[in-house]
C-alpha cells in the first residue's frame, strides 16, 4: 500500500458503517458521532452511502457465519487503500458471543483490521478519538500501524 495514497485518503475520510451482527448498542454510538453534539464532520469525515465511495470501514458486532461472507464481499468492494476499524468488544474479540457456534472466528481473521476501539459499547468520544488518532498516525508516518 502506498503511503502517499493512504495520506490522501486521510485528508477527508469517508466512512462506511457495517454491522455484522451486533446488539445495536455499538451502532447507536456510531450514529451519535454523526449528531451535532459530537459532529464527526468537523474532522472532515462523512458517512458514505456506498462502500464503493468509502475510505474507512467501521465494523460493529461479532461476525457470524452468514455475515462473514458478506463482510468479505464489502471489503473487496471498498477502494484501496482503505482503513478498517473494529468498534466494540464484539468486533474486537467476539465479546459475549465468543463461545457461540455461529461466531467461529474474530473479525481480524476475516479482513485486516487497522484499529480496535474497546468498550461494550464504546462511547462516541472513544470512537472519535480512535479514528482521529489513526488518521493522525497515518498522516504523520504514512504507515497503517494503529
Contacting residues toward ligand SF4, per CB under 6 A: 22-23, 25-26, 60-61, 88-90, 95-96, 120-121
Using DSSP's 3-state secondary structure scheme, residue 100 falls into coil
Q: How far is the CB of 132 from ligand SF4 (least distance, A)?
A: 20
In sign, the C-alpha dihedral spanning 109, 110, 115, 118 is: negative
Q: Are strands 46-47 and 115-117 parallel, antiparallel or unpaired?
A: unpaired
Place of cell 468509502: 54
Q: Which is nearer to ligand SF4, 93 or 139 (CB)?
A: 93
Q: Which is nearer to ligand SF4, 56 or 127 (CB)?
A: 127
Q: Which is nearer to ligand SF4, 10 or 91 (CB)?
A: 91
As a 3-state breakdown, the chain gives helix, strand, coil percent values, each rounded to 5, of: 45, 15, 40
Q: Which is nearer to ligand SF4, 6 or 59 (CB)?
A: 59
Q: How far is the CB of 66 from ligand SF4 (least distance, A)?
A: 16
- The 10 Å Cβ neighbour count of residue 107 is 25
Amino acid at each position: 500500500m502506498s503511503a502517499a495514497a493512504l495520506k490522501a485518503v486521510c485528508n477527508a475520510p469517508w466512512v462506511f458503517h457495517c454491522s455484522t451482527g451486533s446488539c445495536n448498542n455499538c451502532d447507536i454510538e456510531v450514529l451519535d458521532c454523526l449528531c451535532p453534539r459530537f459532529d464527526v464532520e468537523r474532522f472532515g469525515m462523512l458517512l458514505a452511502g456506498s462502500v464503493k465511495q468509502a475510505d474507512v470501514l467501521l465494523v460493529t458486532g461479532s461476525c457470524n457465519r452468514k455475515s462473514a461472507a458478506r463482510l468479505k464481499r464489502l471489503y473487496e468492494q471498498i477502494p484501496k487503500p482503505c482503513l478498517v476499524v473494529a468498534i466494540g468488544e464484539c468486533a474486537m474479540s467476539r465479546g459475549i458471543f465468543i463461545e457461540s457456534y455461529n461466531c467461529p472466528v474474530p473479525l481480524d481473521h476475516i479482513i485486516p483490521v487497522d484499529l480496535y476501539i474497546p468498550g461494550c459499547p464504546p462511547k462516541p468520544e472513544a470512537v472519535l478519538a480512535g479514528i482521529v488518532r489513526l488518521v493522525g498516525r497515518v498522516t504523520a508516518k504514512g504507515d497503517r500501524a494503529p
